Amino acid sequence: MRYLIMPSHDIRTNLATEQYLMSKADLDVPCMLFYIEKPCVIVGRNQNVLEEIDQKFCEENQVTVTRRLSGGGTMYQDMGNLCFSFIVPADKQEFGEFEQLVDPIIQGLHAMGATRAQVNGRNDLEIDGKKFSGNAMYTKNGRTFSHGTLMFDMDLDHVQKALTVSADKIASKGIKSVRSRVTNVKPYLDAKYQTLDTVEFLHALLQQIYQVDTWEEVTEHEFTLTAADQVAIDQLVAEIYGNWDWVYGRSPKFTIQKRQRFPGGTIDARYLVDKGYLKEVKIYGDFFGQQPVTDLETALIGQKYTAQNIQTILQSFDLTRYFLKIPPQDIVKLLSE
């Protein structure tokens, strides 16, 4: 089985690479793919992005948000995480059965000291009852693709913060993630692997998978991408993984309530969001104002549901004329975040 280590640390490029290779006619399968990402969140195909992430935290910490083709739950990744994928003939793989596919990873970890690592449940890898890898699968063009994460030395604090949704009341038909207890696998490895970074860990894991003594022996199994391949991959990034309409516009229809009491009265806003756009906006409350809030509602309807977009629209109004004795910056914060 050959392998590819993707040179990019951008989740959008790497997901596009996976998709491209699934359709590449002359690709020898089975094969393995590996990559390491800068901080990012990947939501499943059928999920509502805003039910899964802390949008403000992701924006402030340059966490890339994208959506993948396969189902399953939301995942956070950073440079301490290793992604691995398998592309195999569909007629050789029972769909939904992960244990056989991930066995090379499990056996490699066992050889490196994490002897209690195992497949558990539908699609998780665990150790001591804690999840360190989630996996997803889809089939297309006669091939089955299985994608997995491997938490080697991730920032677990950022995992919690990026995937903790605010207290806004959101109701939708999106498939919500089930949060699990998680752990890095690094502490379970033998002492000689404790000082490795993620790239060095990948090299050591591949040596175990191929059962060779040197990295040079591993590279004999590597394949690379051509310039033409990269052009096609960049096009997929532009059309899909870096496209706002795919990432946010694919979210199921949902309603959201934003409510807060101020000294000048209570504001209670209700939004209906469909395909990432505000379709209905109603602002209720016991506040006083000289101008009708229907002006604001009308201005917001039809707009993209993003914090920056809503802020820009609201800041174009003199909000003191709509909400007496409520600071405009507090109104903007409530209605946009």
Task: Give Cβ neighbours of residue 297 (< 8 Å, ≥ 6 apart).
Answer: 281, 282, 283
Check residue 324 and give left, alpha or beta (phi > 0: left; psi -120 to 50: alpha): beta
Do residues 97 and 193 both lie within one domain?
A: yes
| Domain co-membership, 281 together with 331 | yes
Give residue 159's pLDDT band: very low, low, confident or very high (50, 70, 90).
confident
Task: Compute how many other C-beta atoms are within 10 angstroms of the C-beta atom of residue 127.
Answer: 20
Q: Report the 10 Å Cβ neighbour count for 318.
A: 10
pLDDT band at 272 (very low <50, low <70, confident <90, very high): very high
Q: Are 69 and 17 in contact (CB under 8 A)?
A: no
With vertex at residue 258, the alpha carbon angle to CA 257 and CA 264, rounded to the nearest 5 degrees, is 135
Residue 96 has a pLDDT of: 59
- The pLDDT-based confidence of 9 (bands split at 50, 70, 90) is very high
Residue with tokens 């949060």: 179
Domain-ending residue, one of 223, 247, 271: 247
pLDDT for res 32:
95
Segment among 76-90, 114-128, 170-184, 228-242 with least mean pLDDT: 170-184
Count of structural domains within the chain: 2
Residues 25 and 174 placed together within one structural domain of the fold: yes
- C-alpha dihedral (108, 14, 175, 275), degrees to nearest 10: 180
Query: Does the pLDDT at position 178 exceed 60?
Result: no
> Are residue 126 and residue 200 in the same domain, yes or no?
yes
CATH code of residue 173: 3.30.930.10
Domain boundary residue among 190, 223, 247? 247
> Quick one: 182 and 285 in the same domain?
no
User: Which residue, among 55, 62, 67, has the nearest Cα to 78 in the 3D structure?
Assistant: 62
In the 8-state DSSP scheme, what is residue 175? P
Domain end, chosen from 247, 265, 281, is at 247
Mean pLDDT of the 87-103 span? 80
Domain CATH for 291: 3.30.390.50
Judgement on whether residues 112 and 132 belong to the same structural domain of the protein:
yes
State whether 281 and 180 are in the same domain: no
Range from 13-17, 36-40, 125-129, 170-174 carrying the lowest mean pLDDT: 170-174
Q: What residues make up the domain containing 39?
A: 2-247
Give 16's contacts (C-beta < 8 A, 6+ positions apart).
Answer: 233, 234, 236, 237, 240, 241
pLDDT interval class at 145 (50, 70, 90): confident
Residues 81 and 97 in one domain: yes
- Note the pLDDT of residue 167: 56
**Structure tokens of 56?**
């403000």
Residue 9: CB atoms within 10 A of its CB come to 15
**pLDDT over 70 (residue 134):** yes
Mean predicted confidence (pLDDT) in 106-121: 93
> Strand pairing of 75-77 and 130-140?
unpaired
Supply 326's token pair: 């409520």
**What pLDDT was estimated at residue 151?**
95
User: What are the tens digits of pLDDT across the range 42-73?
Assistant: 998 878 888 888 888 998 999 999 998 877 77
Burial class (CB in 10 A: 0-12, 13-18, 19+), 17: buried
